[in-house]
Structure 1
Amino acid sequence: MGRGSRTVWTAMGVWRWRRNPLRRPTDLFEAWVAFAALVCVLVVAPAIGWVAGMRVDGTLQRAAREQRHERYLVPAVVVRPGPEPPGGASADPSAQRQTPQRTRIVAAWTAPDGSSHQGTVPAAEEPPRTGDRFRIWTDTRGRVVGQPLDPSSASFHAALAGLAAALTVAVLVETVRRMVVRRLVHRRYIRLDRAWAAAGPDWGRAGAGS
């Protein structure tokens, strides 16, 4: 039985224990704690996740719109091979297989403002050849930038953020519930030990308690 099922069954104790003559005050309190935790997991956590996801989505969508207005796909041409990575041919082949790197080339391009630029960028095709043409993302002044954030990718990341927020709240609620229950059980054992210590010396003696 999972944590959620245990919480549900404990929450049902709010009704079962309400008129039971053997009910202890802590039993009813524990049941209400479980019921409150269940409400938080089923209602509060999803609500917080939805709000968090919507806020993140709004922020990312604004960033995506700004990037689409500030970044441009401009034509570039391969000038020559770029410098070798640190270590050159002596680099660890196993490391290269685990983290493959694209070939670096020196390319030339014209920025949207008309200025000419030349720099080292990743090759668009393998192997790169001098004179090959490809396109790169730059800002207005021709500085190389990353591809603009896609709206669908922004929504996906926002959904993940909302889900993470909801799960975090649910885990926090369950953790608090467990801490409260553990504290209640500890207090029950203390009371039981005290009661046993008081009744223990007279246990089994004839006429004890008379």
Structure 2
Amino acid sequence: MRVISGLWRWRRNPLRRGTDLAEAWVGLVALLLILALGPVIGFLTGQVAQDALQQSVREQHDSRRPVTATVIRALDRSPLDADPEAASGRAVHSRVVADWTAPDGTSHQGTVMAELQSPHRGDHFSVWTDLHGRIAARPLDSATATTHAVLAGTGAALLTAGLIEGARRLAVWRMVRRRYARWDRAWERAGPDWGRTGTGS
């Protein structure tokens, strides 16, 4: 709005300089580019991210399976592990030695993190593995992938707006520098005669 009012103000103003009108036009063009390009680039980026992430979701769900593991023994809590008293609302994890059967039928044993507050021998819990029984991270779910895609699109739109605004500021800064340089040259020409007697000033 400020850009449009600036253009209107300088329309037929006798004090208007060429650079004033140029600055207002640069601002208007930047505003239109932000309004036109920002949403388009954000949408396209979000769409590309959504396609890639949903493909990743499908691949992860195809290659990972939840299996039931059985605690063999609990391990001492590491000093780096979160304090169970401070883990309000979050799942408490304990390091245990456990065994499990992979989706391909092979038996495995190893140290894993169990969502058990005080694990005991024989307790059961779920872990995610690949098809050969190697421990894997929980696969990405579709809703989380969509959230990441929306964030990527929003970030791209904001980055586009920031780049356009940066270009506008750079253009205005260069115009102001040129204006000051012209003023300096004009003062240099007028300077030697300024205030002298008999120079007609």
Q: Which of 139, 155, 159 is matched with 2:146 structurally?
A: 155
Which residue is 1:120 aligned to?
111
TM-score (norm 1): 0.82
> Is the deviation greater in 167-176 or in 9-18?
9-18
Which residue is 1:51 aligned to?
44
Alpha-carbon distance change, 96 to 153 in structure 1, aligned in 2, over 3 angstroms = closer
Determine if contact 2:193/2:199 at 8 Å carries over to the other structure.
Answer: no
TM-score (norm 2): 0.86
User: How far apart are 1:18 and its partner, in Å?
Assistant: 4.0
Determine if contact 2:68/2:125 at 8 Å carries over to the other structure.
Answer: yes
1:181 equivalent to 2:172? Answer: yes
Q: Which of 191, 196, 208 is matched with 2:187 structurally?
A: 196
CA distance in 1, matches of 2:115, 2:65: 16
User: How far apart are 1:197 and its partner, in Å?
Assistant: 2.2
User: How far apart are 1:194 and its partner, in Å?
Assistant: 1.5
Gaps of 5+ in 1: 1-7, 86-90
Moved over 6 A (4+): none
Q: Which structure has the highest helix share of the two?
A: 1
Which residue is 2:200 aligned to?
208
1:39 equivalent to 2:29? Answer: no
CA distance in 2, matches of 1:169, 1:34: 15
Gaps of 5+ in 2: none
Task: Give SS of 2:35's match.
Answer: helix
Which residue is 1:169 aligned to?
160
CA distance in 2, matches of 1:123, 1:27: 67
Q: Percent sequence identity over matched residues?
A: 48
CA distance in 1, matches of 2:77, 2:22: 69
Q: Which of 77, 83, 106 is matched with 2:70 structurally?
A: 77
- What value does the CA root-mean-square deviation take over the aligned residues? 2.5
Task: Tell me which amino acid in the other structure corresponds to 1:35.
Answer: L
